[in-house]
Every structure is written in C-alpha cells, then in structure tokens.
C-alpha cells in the first residue's frame, strides 16, 4: 500500500490542525497549496492548477504563489471570506536533519489583518467577541493594527436590540461568539449576513470565566483583573478573555501593543440603530455605498489616517455629555477663528504618518526600516505642534497636548542608526548608517576596497593582455569573471581559467580574482547579517516606547479631527451652536450639510425649525412629493447630530437641546430575503422606534402608513401620533400625505402644522423648498408626475379622472367601484375620522367655560368645531 512522501506527511500533519483554513505551505520561493485547498485557491485566485507527486497513485492537486507577492493573494482570499494559515520554515535548512521543520507562524482572518497595504487608511478593522448568557451579553472588540481594545456589558430587557445596534455601529470584519439563547445566535447570524461579516461559532470553554480570567492576567501581567476596569462585569471578562485567547492562537506571538482596555457603557454616547445610520447617510450613501455624498465626506478634512478613523467614530457615536460636547466646540472655535494657526497646523499634521499602525507594526515585529524613518519624521513635527498651541486658553486643549511626548530618544536612535533612504527589506542590508557600528563600518570598507580592487583589475588586465575589449562582470551564479570576445581568444594568458562559454565570448577567472571575490562577497554577506541583527535590537529598543507613542497618536488624532471640523466649518460657513439640556431645538435658517455641498451653486433654500414641549412637540409636515420634506427632516436630524459630535452646524443660529437617540423611518423597500413586504418592514421599524424612544429622543417619520390601504394607513398614522404625544412626548417631525392628520393641530396639544410652499403656474408647479406654517390643501400628484416625464396622454387622462372624482361623478368613466357595506354608498370613498368622533365634539362643547371665554376665542372655537363636524 502506497503512503505519502515525508514532505507530504509533514504537510498533512499541519493541515489537520488547521482544517478550517487555506494552508499556504512554504517550499523554496513559493507558497504552495495542495489537495482541496489547491482547488479552492486556483478557482478564487484564477491561478494555474498543477499536480505534484505525493507518494499516492494519483498526483496531489497543487497551485502556488510567489512568496514576495503573497500579500496580494492573501488579501483576495480574505475579501472572499477565507481564513489563511501561513506555514514557514522554522529552522535553518543548513542545520536541518531530514525534512526542514515547518509550522504555522500566523493565521490571517478578516478581523486580524495588520498589513497596512491590505487595510483602509481611514477605517478601523475590528474583530469582535460576543458572549451571551441569560439576559445579558459581553461584547469586546479590537483593532490589532492600532492596538485599540474596547469592551462593554449589556444586561437589561432590551439587550438583544442593543447588541444588534452595537454590531451595526462597530461593523467588525469578524465575530467570534458563544451564546446560549438560540434567538441571540440567529440575531448574530443575521447581522453577519446583512453586513457581510465573517462569523466564528467559538467553543464555549474559551469563554469560561476562570479560563478567561487566566488569559487576562497573563496578557496584562497582573495578579488580578480588578485594576482593568471590569468591576463586576463578568460577561465582559468572558468575552475579552476569549478574544485574547483567539488572538494568541491565530497570531502566534505576544501582542504587547494591546496593553490598555477601554471599558465603556452604552450611556456614554448616543445609540444609533442601523436604519438611522443608513437613512442619514452618515458614513456612506444608501445606494452606492460610497463616502462621497455622506456626512463624513463633508466633514472629513483630516490630514492623518488616525484622525480620519477618529472622526468617523465621532460621527457614529455622538456625545450625550454637555461638557464634553462644549469642550470640542471650544477648540473647533479656536481653530476656525484663526486662519494662520489652522494653516500652520495643517502643514505639520500632513507630515505625520499613521502612528497608531506604526506602533502596531513595531509591537508585531513587522515594521521595516522605512517605517522607522516615517516614525522619525513624524516625531520631528511634534514639538512644533505643541509650541503652536501651547498659548491657547483651553483646558481641554492643554490636556490633549499634555499627552503628546517628544520621544527624543526614539528620534535620536533612528537618526543615528538608520539610513535616510534605507532598503524596505530587513534582510537585504542597506539599513544601518556609517558610524553607528564599528563592525559594520569595517565590513563595508572591506567590501568597498575589494570592489575598487576588482574594478581596477579591468584596466590592469587590459594593459597586460593587450585585449582592449576585456571587461569584468558579475552574476549570482558564477560570481566575478573576466569576459573576452572570441576574436581575442588567441591573446588570453595561460593563467586564465575558463569558466563559461557563450555564443560570442568566453568567461574566465583567475585565482587572484576568486580570492578577492571571496573577501568581497564574504564581507557583504556578513554586513547584511549584522545589519539585520542590529535592526532587531533597534526595533526592540523602540518597542519599549510603544505605549507612549500610542498616547501621542491618540492626541494627534484628536487634534486632527478637531482641525477637520474647524476647516469644514470655515469652508462651508457653519456656526457654533448653543448646546444645552433645555429640551428645545431652535434652528434659524438651517441647511442640509450634504445637499448644499452637492448643489454647488449656493441655491439651497434654508429653513427654520422650532421643536419644544409646549407648542411644537410634533410637527406635521405636508406638501407634494419632491418638494423637499424628507430633505428638510434629515437636515434637522443631521444638524442635531453634528452639534452633539462637537461640530459647528449649517445655520445662522441654533440652540440644540441634547437628544439621547435619533430615530428615522424614511423610505421603504421590500425585504424579499426575509419574506417581508414594504409595509411589514415599515411597521417593524416603527415598532422598534415606539419601543425604544424616550421623551429625550428625536423622531424623523416620513409618510407612515403609506404601504397599505388609505383607511388602514391613515388609522395607523393617526394612532402613532397620539401615542407619541401621550406616551412618549418626544420631539417629532412627521411628514404625511394624509391631510386629515392636519386636523390634529387643534385636537392634540403640541401638534403644529407645517407645509412645503409651492407656486402654481397654470397646470405646473414650482417647488419653493420653503417650510412655512399651515397645511397643504392638495398633493399635486399629477403635476409631480408631469415633472417626472409621464406621457402627455396619461397626464391628460389623469386630470380628467381627478376632476370627475372630485365631483363624485364616476358614472362617466369605465370605472366600477363596488359598494362597500361598511361605507354605505359610493360617495363616501374617503374615511372621515370626524364622522365617528362626534362624542369628542360634544365633550369639548360641554367643557367650555363661556363666562371666561372672549368673543374672539369663542369664534375660533366655533370655527374649529364647525370644520370638524363638517369633515373639512
């Protein structure tokens, strides 16, 4: 019976330990894949599938990629959702007895990428760990490329909804989890499918409390976990311990840059659900999923990658604390008002590299000589930034500056040791500066002198032999040689030793040449080895400074994000809002930050907004489609959100009462994959809003109830407004085409009618984009259809039908409307809530105190009751 060859036995032994990965097995200058892995890789990477003798009757399917370009192929596999294990030689081939020992040195997954060329510069790459038990979950997530490690615990009735929101906010590339509740498992799986995440169902023993605690103590080098900030958060301990365990098993190294953990609660920042993030297009557009056209696109003027990542996080996590908001606003104001300061700060920031990811590479052992030069150049900018901002009177700004170190020792070390333009490869030499190490200098001198001797040998031999075309060459196979054309072979001296014959020439060596070659190449080989060892020592020395470099990186990221907000405020004419806890939103001439930027002709129409708990708690907004209702409502939500991230806002003035959450129900689309209709999706989203909103929330509701019949839709919309007014009492903008809802202004306290103004010109309309008090008396549907380009014949027919419908004269058309027994007759086609609400009219009349009512008030009351009774 045939058996595998020794090399393939080694492969199979390793592969059996990593069955869930594609194993890249190093053979010479290639990483090879075998058997099923080869079939997958050849298909996904579109590379040639070959075969290799493996000892069995059939050849093993095989494909491979060059080691020097392996990262490109790994990236493609990771994007397609595969895990990749890198198997390298772990002993010197010259010292090996038999098969060279190999082992997996790293497992690369979507959540554990660290190679900067594979990552988006201004976006974090998170790995999340989730542990669910009982009515609670522990959540921990990490970006190993930057060293950020955060954890929280959710234990309350709505922990499932909050878990969903956290997953959507963090948007990790990968999740490892263990949960007891099958519904919680379904939730995580659904999030994975919707957000295209890599999901690992991790075994429960990794999350065991004692095991997790042991992992944390070992990693953070502490005798107890009390000082890490967990307090009594057992679920957080378990999710974090499992995450550390997963990183150790996949990364195969100590992760010294993960030495700080940020324990947070959901009360620290505003929670935004997935629908709100999508509808407000905070970081990407709904349709094209691109940054351009989003709020981030407008606000992102950051000069550094780390500043860009932080600004994105701020937009996704608006603040709730007034002091924190105003701290940011104060610095934005300082930067905005000082043009020269802003320009100078920009010049320094643009020369700072990604210190967070450089720190990660140093700790990870993947930093190269050019990275160290980038670190040195970045450090060189720090004193100037501190000097520039040191005289500004802002406690918050000075606190940020206090965390920036000058890192003089690191700078001097790199400056003295590393060449200004070193090799990118640590094993190719050309790294260490002359004067840093005596042995390197001596070896370089020996190599240089030898090369000079060899170069002078060409002139010497030409004179000695009389062969004017004689030249000295070099290649890696034969080393140095003397080359003589065939026409001059008769002049070759007897001490020349033939080495190689070519078509037009012969190549020779001499004992003297080979002796000098040995000295030159020996010196070059030794200096390359020595430079590599010195580089490792330098890297190890710099690694001690990583925690301080991370502190500096965080402060520079903050300054960059605040600079960005100031620059966008200056560029777009934003103003500083007054942010408080007064539960009022008052905006004068507010503008949509994205739409006005896209228009580019200063043609955006600004609008005022008043929302308070007295007369303007719920604004009912009517007007035709395309008139700007949705834009206006999103505009208000974005202005509030911008204020709460510490940004200036697009308005003439504004007072923003902090909101705890923003909810949006805008637009609708069928979720066919879940078997849900447009209306079902709409109602599910409304159920979520009404269950989670508080009196401090802001609701943006666009045409609730439009996905079903007129009667049902109007009933639901009416009931929703009543519930918001009576049970939630939160700030609400509610757009609708149900004009009957405008009657609520006189019925429900706090309801106020607004409409989008339009100008009629014969059969056409012009959208004025202005929000004014009052209600629209019609929807202008046919005019909008005409603007949209419907055929003239269709428009004409629609106008005729509308005229007849308004006269209730349907007999003139070939339209059959069956009598509804609940309606009584054809003439009652529209549900009139006022016909079934006479008891309320009577009760209002009974409640009147005519002795204390002025004549004007009496007339107004009578007018409203008359309208209500007549169904107008």
Question: Is 7 flagged in the annotation as binding?
Answer: no
**Which neighbouring-strand residues pair with 483?**
471, 507
The Cβ-side half-sphere exposure at 579, using a 13 Å CA radius, reads 29
- Residue 290 near residue 278 (C-beta atoms within 8 A): no
Question: Is 360 flagged in the annotation as binding?
Answer: no
The 3-state DSSP class for residue 440 equals helix
Our measurement of the distance from residue 814's CA atom to the centroid of its chain's CA atoms, rounded to an integer in Å, reads 57
Structure tokens at 554: 């965080």
- Residue 751 near residue 721 (C-beta atoms within 8 A): yes
Give the integer Cα–Cα distance in Å for 620 and 717: 11
The helix (H) or strand (E) run that includes residue 485 is: strand 479-485
- Residue 140 near residue 151 (C-beta atoms within 8 A): yes
Give the integer Cα–Cα distance in Å for 265 and 39: 46
Give Rg (Cα) of the chain.
Answer: 36
Sequence-separated contacts (24+) of 228-233 with Cβ below 8 Å = 228/261, 228/263, 229/261, 229/262, 229/263, 230/151, 230/263, 231/263, 233/138, 233/151, 233/152, 233/153, 233/263
Count other C-beta atoms under 10 Å from residue 569's C-beta.
24
Question: Is 593 flagged in the annotation as binding?
Answer: no
- Write down the residue that tokens 């834009």 correspond to: 631
Question: Is 630 flagged in the annotation as binding?
Answer: yes
The Cβ-side half-sphere exposure at 463, using a 13 Å CA radius, reads 5
Give the integer Cα–Cα distance in Å for 443 and 524: 7
Question: Is 675 flagged in the annotation as binding?
Answer: no
Structure tokens at 709: 């019949």
Structure tokens at 601: 């002709």
Give the integer Cα–Cα distance in Å for 318 and 331: 17
Question: Is 713 flagged in the annotation as binding?
Answer: no
Give the integer Cα–Cα distance in Å for 101 and 280: 55
Count other C-beta atoms under 10 Å from residue 708's C-beta.
17
Alpha-carbon distance values, 699 to 281, 547, 633, 651, 657 (Å): 16, 43, 9, 20, 14
Is the four-CA dihedral 707, 709, 712, 718 of positive or negative sign? positive
Structure tokens at 60: 């093993």
- Residue 49 near residue 62 (C-beta atoms within 8 A): yes
Is the four-CA dihedral 313, 318, 320, 324 of positive or negative sign? positive
Phi, psi of 105 (to 5 degrees): -100, -15
- Residue 128 near residue 172 (C-beta atoms within 8 A): yes
- Residue 373 near residue 420 (C-beta atoms within 8 A): yes
Can you spell out the DSSP letters for 545-572?
THHHHHHHHHHHHHHHHHHHHHHHHHHH
- Residue 113 near residue 145 (C-beta atoms within 8 A): yes
Q: Which residues line the annotated binding site for ATP?
A: 623-630
Which residues fall in the annotated binding site?
623-630
């Amino acid at each position: 019976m045939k058996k595998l060859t020794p090399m393939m036995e080694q492969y199979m032994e390793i592969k059996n330990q990593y069955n869930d990965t594609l194993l890249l097995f190093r053979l010479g200058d290639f990483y090879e894949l075998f058997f099923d892995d080869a079939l997958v890789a050849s298909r996904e990477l579109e590379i040639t599938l070959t075969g290799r003798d493996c000892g069995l009757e059939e050849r093993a399917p095989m494909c491979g990629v060059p080691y020097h370009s392996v990262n490109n192929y790994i990236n493609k596999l990771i994007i397609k959702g595969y895990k990749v294990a890198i198997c390298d030689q772990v002993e010197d081939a010259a010292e090996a007895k038999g098969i060279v020992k190999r082992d997996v040195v790293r497992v690369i997954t979507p959540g554990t990428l660290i190679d900067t060329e594979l990552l988006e510069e201004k976006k974090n790459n998170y790995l999340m760990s989730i542990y669910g038990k009982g009515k609670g979950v522990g959540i921990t997530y990490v970006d190993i490329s930057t060293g950020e490690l955060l954890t929280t615990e959710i234990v309350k009735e709505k922990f499932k909804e909050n878990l969903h929101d956290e997953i959507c906010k963090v948007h990790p590339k990968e999740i490892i989890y263990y949960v007891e509740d099958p519904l919680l498992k379904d939730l995580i799986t659904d999030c994975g499918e919707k957000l295209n995440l890599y999901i690992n169902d991790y075994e429960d023993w990794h999350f065991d409390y004692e095991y997790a605690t042991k992992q944390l103590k070992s990693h953070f080098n502490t005798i107890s976990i009390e000082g890490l900030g967990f307090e009594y958060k057992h679920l957080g301990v378990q999710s974090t311990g499992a995450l550390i365990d997963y990183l150790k098993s996949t990364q195969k190294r100590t992760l010294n840059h993960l030495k700080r953990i940020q324990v947070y609660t959901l009360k620290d920042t505003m929670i935004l659900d997935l629908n709100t993030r999508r509808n407000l297009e905070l970081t990407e557009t709904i349709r094209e999923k691109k940054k351009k056209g989003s709020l981030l696109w407008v606000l992102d003027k950051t000069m550094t990658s780390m500043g860009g990542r932080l600004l994105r996080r701020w937009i996704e996590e608006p603040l709730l604390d007034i002091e924190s908001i105003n701290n940011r606003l104060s610095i934005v104001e300082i930067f905005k008002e000082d043009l020269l300061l802003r320009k100078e700060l920009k010049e320094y920031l643009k020369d700072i590299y990604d210190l967070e990811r450089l720190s990660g590479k140093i700790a990870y052992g993947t930093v190269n000589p050019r990275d160290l030069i980038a670190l040195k150049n970045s450090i060189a900018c720090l004193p100037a930034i501190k000097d520039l901002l040191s005289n500004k009177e802002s406690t918050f700004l000075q606190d940020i500056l206090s965390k920036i170190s000058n890192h003089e020792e690191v700078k001097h070390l790199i400056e003295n040791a590393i060449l200004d333009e070193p090799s990118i490869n640590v094993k190719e030499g050309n790294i260490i500066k002359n004067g840093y190490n005596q042995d390197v200098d001596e070896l370089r001198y020996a190599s240089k002198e030898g090369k000079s001797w060899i170069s002078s040998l060409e002139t010497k031999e030409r004179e000695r032999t009389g062969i004017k075309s004689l030249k000295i060459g070099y290649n890696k196979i034969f080393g140095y040689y003397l080359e003589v054309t065939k026409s001059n072979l008769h002049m070759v001296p007897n001490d020349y030793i033939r080495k190689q014959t070519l078509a037009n020439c012969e190549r020779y060596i001499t004992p003297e040449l080979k002796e000098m070659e040995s000295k030159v190449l020996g010196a070059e080989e030794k200096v390359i080895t020595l430079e590599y060892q010195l580089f490792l020592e330098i890297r190890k020395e710099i690694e001690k400074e990583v925690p301080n470099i991370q502190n500096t990186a965080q402060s520079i990221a903050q300054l960059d994000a605040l600079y960005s907000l100031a620059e966008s405020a200056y560029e777009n004419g934003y103003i500083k809002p007054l942010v408080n806890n007064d539960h009022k939103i008052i905006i004068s001439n507010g503008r949509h930050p994205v739409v006005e930027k896209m228009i580019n002709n200063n043609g955006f129409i600004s609008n005022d907004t008043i929302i308070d708990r007295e007369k303007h708690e719920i604004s009912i907004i009517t007007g035709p489609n395309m008139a700007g209702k949705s834009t206006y409502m999103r505009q208000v939500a974005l202005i509030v959100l911008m204020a709460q991230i510490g940004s200036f806002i697009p308005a003439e003035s504004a007072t923003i009462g902090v909101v705890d959450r923003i909810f949006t129900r805008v637009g609708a689309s069928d979720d066919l994959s879940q078997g849900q209709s447009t209306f079902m999706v709409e109602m599910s989203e409304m159920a979520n809003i009404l269950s989670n909103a508080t009196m401090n929330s802001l609701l943006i509701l666009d045409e609730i109830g439009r996905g079903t019949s007129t009667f049902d839709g109007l009933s639901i919309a009416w009931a929703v407004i009543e519930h918001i007014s009576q049970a939630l009492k939160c700030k609400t903008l509610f757009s609708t085409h149900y004009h009957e809802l405008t009657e609520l202004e006189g019925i429900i306290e706090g309801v106020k009618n607004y409409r989008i103004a339009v100008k009629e010109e014969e059969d056409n309309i012009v959208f004025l984009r202005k929000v004014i008090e009052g209600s629209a008396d019609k929807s202008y549907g046919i005019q909008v259809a005409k603007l949209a380009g419907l055929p003239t014949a269709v428009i004409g027919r629609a106008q005729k039908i509308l005229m007849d419908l308004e006269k209730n004269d349907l007999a003139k058309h070939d339209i059959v409307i069956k009598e509804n027994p609940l309606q009584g007759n054809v003439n009652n086609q529209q549900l009139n809530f006022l016909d079934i609400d006479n008891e309320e009219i009577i009760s209002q009349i009974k409640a009147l105190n005519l002795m204390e009512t002025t004549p004007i008030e009496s007339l107004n009351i009578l007018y409203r009751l008359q309208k209500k009774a007549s169904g107008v």
